[in-house]
Amino acid sequence: MSADTTVETAAGVTLTVTAADKVRQFLADQPDTDGIALRVAVQAGGCAGFRYALFFDDRDLEGDVVEAQHGVTLRIDRMSSAYLTGATIDWKESLEASGFSIDNPNSSGSCACGESATF
């Protein structure tokens, strides 16, 4: 079993150990991280119709699914959770680019930039 093997959770989203480590590195550079979570959302826009958004957020919105994985708190709004069930968030690094990647079995297509999806 690899270090990034995880089990789907109540939120329906899996955060790999590698991605969680990167989130903790980003948060370590901030002066006050009390109540800060990684918000994962699907938003209208992008060239394929929807785009993923990952950002740090201290808000607790009505209907949020909140869960801790590998020491990182995830917040997913009610609308986005339906699109993200079964998705895996990972951190990828290569010579060309570095960033979070989302492998989402609910996506029926994506665009060439890889940052937008259709459902």
> Residue 53 sits in a domain of what CATH number?
2.60.300.12
CA distances to 20, 23, 28, 34, 36 from 31, rounded to whole Å, are 19, 15, 8, 9, 11
* Helix (H/G/I), strand (E/B), else coil: 24: helix
Residue 87 lies in a domain: yes
Give which of 1, 13, 2, 3 is closest to 69, Cα–Cα. 13
Please give the pLDDT value at position 6. Answer: 44
Of the pLDDT bands very low, low, confident and very high (cuts 50, 70, 90), residue 9 is low
Q: What is the pLDDT of residues 10-67, one digit of tens each?
A: 568 999 999 999 999 999 988 888 889 999 999 887 666 788 999 999 999 999 999 9
In a domain, 4, yes or no: no
* Domain count along the chain: 1
Residue 5 has pLDDT above 90, yes or no: no
Domain-embedded: residue 118: no
Average pLDDT over residues 61-80: 93
pTM score: 0.80
Contacts of 63 (CB under 8 A, 6+ apart): 77, 78
Residue 36 covered by a domain: yes
Q: Are 12 and 6 in contact (CB under 8 A)?
A: no
The domain of 45 spans 15-113
